[in-house]
């Protein structure tokens, strides 16, 4: 009998593989339609036309967060993963079926740039997972909303639109954005809202954000910038001094740029302008109370009223403190009195003076210490030409080196005194306009300038006076008018017309004689001359008694003049 009448085990296996192989080629790896034949223990039993049925968890038939609605007899699409497993059942998947169908649809929508619906159902590192009708996508945290969202809970398990940013089916990678949808919607709202706004319009808004340079105000879908300089007429250091996030404010639309959709807002424009009539309110020369708001290297800003500030330049800070930083004279928030120097309403500028609102110490010193007054003070500084002495009223006076001491050179006189030493001096001159006080120290040694006397000691130029010798020096004589008058000097060449008469040693201390006032030195001290007096008397005698042309000699004329004087 032929062996083929009884198939062997290998023949049976080959026949089975042929049968199942054809079935496998028709079903495995594909999405097919099946019928729900039973629901057992949260599993749906599904017949897809194979030798055996398959089981699929009910949760695969429900959207995230929702309950599956499935009944026996329902037609459903499932993915055939394998014909049978070790239990002999078909391996089916509803998720894979939905995913394959979803990918087909999503690729079409992505190519067209359309939005897709999805549900946020889980959290992962860096973002969230979104169910796009079966396909799972990644939603980065930065793409959830326009602004950072602290709690995403209210957004989960809710159907909402998304924009596909990137997808790769081979890798199963999809990235979506919710923020892109919000920005697109907001842009549409902004475009419509901005068309309804006009410059000069007054609207209400909500402060959404505060920066160093201003605040962003939400006008109901579009933000406008309220710059710090437009918050108030008064000085605002930082917007947070006036505004808080969440505040409802009334603002005026200053400018609208419809191309860039930028809106500039103002609050101070709704207030009355304090600069209107400022010239009449703050006349030049007027003294007003103010508050120091800011200090710079070049001066200090003083607020006269909210919205009106003036600058006190560093040169107008103090009568006596020169080249000093304004911060060493005034402090921020200090109340001060200032004088108005200039007002420019158009440029919104007021120039103020701090020192002009105070008494001029130079004028006060001149009133209190006339020429000839004795003063006392500390040597503040020694220079190559003299000493600076600190005086009453915080002013300084200068003693020129020629007025420090008698009988020594200026350089030697400077070495006689040191900084910090207290010395006495006499006032020689006060120039209030130039803020200068001239002092003399040597004048106190012998008579000095008579108290209450005017410059020059009360004598005038070309006046003949009787003087007393105070000191005999090689260069001439130091003399004094009367017993307590002005002191002055007679140079050697002015002691007489003849060379023999120009010897200082022929005079003695205490000797009296007449001399002519021929001028005054830098400190207003008179200079005298015997020679000039002789020449003046000679001219007078010639004019009175005739010239030498009459036959009389010059000696005869002078002799006759002397007789007349003595007679």
Q: Which pLDDT score is estimated for 546?
A: 58
CA atoms within 13 A on the CB side of 288: 23
Q: 379-410, pLDDT tens digit by residue? A: 998 888 899 999 988 888 999 988 888 767 77
Six token digits for residue 56 = 């699929």
Beta bridge partners, 388, equal: 381, 398
- Asked whether the beta carbons of 421 and 382 are under 8 A apart, the reply is no
Specify the CATH number of the domain 197-270: 2.40.50.140
Q: 419-439, pLDDT tens digit by residue? A: 888 999 999 888 888 888 999
Q: 197-213, pLDDT tens digit by residue? A: 888 889 999 999 999 99
Q: Phi, psi at residue 33, to the nearest 5°?
A: -100, 135
Q: 65-79, pLDDT tens digit by residue? A: 677 778 888 888 777
Greater confidence (244 vs 484) lies with 244
CA angle 70, 76, 81 (to 5 degrees): 120
Q: Which fold does the domain 25-98 belong to in CATH? A: OB fold (Dihydrolipoamide Acetyltransferase, E2P) (2.40.50)
Six token digits for residue 452 = 């209450």
Cα–Cα distance measured from residue 96 to residue 40, given in angstroms and rounded to the nearest whole number? 21
Does the structure show a pLDDT above 90 at 160?
A: yes
Q: Which of 47, 23, 27 is nearest to 36 (CA)?
A: 47
Q: Which pLDDT score is estimated for 296?
A: 92
Same fold, 197-270 and 281-357: yes
Q: 98-147, pLDDT tens digit by residue? A: 777 788 889 899 999 899 999 999 999 999 999 998 789 999 999 999 88
Task: Assign 10 a pLDDT band (cuts: 50, 70, 90).
Answer: low
Q: 323-380, pLDDT tens digit by residue? A: 889 999 999 989 999 999 999 988 889 999 998 888 888 888 888 888 888 999 999 9
Beta bridge partners, 44, equal: 39, 56
- Domain residue ranges of the chain, discontinuous segments joined by +: 25-98, 113-183, 197-270, 281-357, 361-444, 464-540
| Pairing, β 127-132 against β 135-140 | antiparallel
Secondary structure letter of residue 3 according to DSSP: G
Q: Which of 403, 401, 395, 366 is nearest to 378 (CA)?
A: 395
| Pairing, β 335-344 against β 308-313 | unpaired
Does the structure show a pLDDT above 80 at 557?
A: no
Please give the class, per CATH, of domain 361-444. mainly beta
> Which three-class secondary structure state does DSSP give residue 330?
coil
Q: How far is CA 97 from the centre of its chain?
A: 66
Cα–Cα distance measured from residue 375 to residue 215, given in angstroms and rounded to the nearest whole number? 62
- Asked whether the beta carbons of 404 and 391 are under 8 A apart, the reply is no
Please give the class, per CATH, of domain 113-183. mainly beta
33-38 contacts: CB < 8 A, separation 24 or more? 33/75, 33/76, 33/77, 34/75, 34/76, 34/77, 34/78, 34/92, 35/73, 35/74, 35/75, 35/76, 36/70, 36/71, 36/72, 36/73, 36/74, 36/75, 36/76, 37/72, 38/72
> Which three-class secondary structure state does DSSP give residue 277?
coil
Task: Assign 217 a pLDDT band (cuts: 50, 70, 90).
Answer: very high
- Asked whether the beta carbons of 48 and 36 are under 8 A apart, the reply is no
CA torsion angle 320 321 327 330 (round to 10)? -10
Task: Assign 153 a pLDDT band (cuts: 50, 70, 90).
Answer: confident
Q: Which pLDDT score is estimated for 3?
A: 44
Please give the class, per CATH, of domain 464-540. mainly beta
Secondary structure letter of residue 32 according to DSSP: E
Q: What is the mean pLDDT of residues 84-97?
A: 68
Cα–Cα distance measured from residue 533 to residue 465, given in angstroms and rounded to the nearest whole number? 10
Q: Which fold does the domain 281-357 belong to in CATH? A: OB fold (Dihydrolipoamide Acetyltransferase, E2P) (2.40.50)
| Pairing, β 386-391 against β 395-400 | antiparallel
């Amino acid at each position: 009998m032929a062996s083929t009448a009884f198939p062997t085990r290998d023949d049976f296996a080959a026949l089975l593989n042929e049968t199942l192989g054809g079935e496998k080629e028709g079903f495995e790896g594909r999405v097919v339609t099946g019928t729900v034949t039973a629901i057992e223990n949260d599993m749906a039993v599904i017949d897809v036309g194979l030798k055996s049925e398959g089981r699929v968890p009910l949760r695969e038939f429900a959207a995230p967060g929702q309950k599956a609605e499935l009944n026996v007899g329902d037609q459903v699409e499932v993915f055939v993963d394998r014909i049978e497993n070790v239990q002999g059942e078909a391996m089916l998947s509803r998720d894979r079926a939905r995913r394959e169908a979803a990918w087909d649809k999503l690729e079409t929508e992505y190519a067209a740039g359309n939005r897709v619906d999805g549900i946020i159902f889980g959290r992962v590192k860096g973002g969230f997972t979104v169910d796009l009708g079966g396909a799972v996508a990644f939603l980065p945290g930065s793409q959830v909303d326009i602004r950072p969202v602290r709690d995403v809970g209210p957004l989960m398990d809710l159907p909402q639109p998304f924009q596909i940013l990137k997808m790769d089916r081979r890798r199963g990678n999809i990235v979506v954005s919710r923020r892109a949808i919000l920005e697109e919607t907001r842009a549409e709202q902004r475009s419509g809202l901005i068309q309804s706004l006009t410059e000069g319009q007054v609207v209400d808004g909500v402060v959404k954000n505060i920066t160093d340079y201003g605040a962003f105000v939400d006008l109901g879908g579009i933000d406008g910038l309220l710059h710090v300089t437009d918050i108030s007429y008064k000085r605002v250091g930082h917007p947070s001094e006036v505004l808080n996030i969440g505040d409802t404010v009334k603002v005026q639309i200053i400018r609208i740029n419809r191309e860039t959709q930028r809106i500039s807002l103002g609050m101070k424009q709704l207030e009355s302008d304090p600069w209107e009539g400022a010239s009449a309110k703050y006349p030049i020369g007027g003294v007003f109370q103010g508050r120091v708001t800011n200090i710079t290297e070049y001066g200090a800003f003083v607020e006269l009223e909210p919205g009106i500030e003036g600058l006190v330049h560093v040169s107008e800070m103090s009568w006596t403190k020169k080249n000093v930083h304004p911060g060493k004279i005034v402090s921020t928030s200090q109340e001060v009195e200032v004088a108005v120097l200039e007002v420019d309403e158009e440029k919104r500028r007021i120039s103020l003076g701090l020192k002009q609102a105070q008494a001029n110490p130079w004028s006060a010193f001149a009133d209190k210490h006339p020429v000839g007054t004795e003063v006392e003070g500390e040597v503040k500084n020694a220079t190559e030409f003299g000493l600076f002495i600190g005086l009453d009223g915080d002013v300084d006076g200068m003693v020129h080196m020629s007025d420090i001491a008698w009988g020594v050179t200026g350089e030697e006189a400077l070495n006689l005194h040191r900084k910090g030493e207290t010395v006495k001096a006499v006032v020689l001159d006060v120039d209030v306009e130039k803020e200068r006080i001239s002092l003399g120290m040597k004048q106190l040694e012998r008579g000095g300038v008579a108290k209450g006397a005017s410059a020059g000691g009360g004598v005038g130029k070309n006046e003949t006076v009787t003087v007393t010798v105070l000191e005999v020096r090689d260069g001439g004589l130091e003399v004094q008018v009367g017993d307590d008058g002005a002191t002055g000097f007679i140079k050697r060449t002015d002691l007489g017309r003849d060379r023999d008469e120009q010897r200082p040693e022929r005079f003695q201390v205490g000797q009296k004689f007449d001399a002519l006032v021929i001028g005054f030195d830098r400190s207003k001290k008179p200079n005298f001359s015997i020679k000039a007096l002789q020449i003046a008397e000679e001219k007078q005698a010639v004019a009175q008694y005739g010239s030498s042309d009459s036959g009389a000699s010059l000696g005869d004329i002078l002799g006759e003049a002397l007789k007349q004087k003595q007679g």
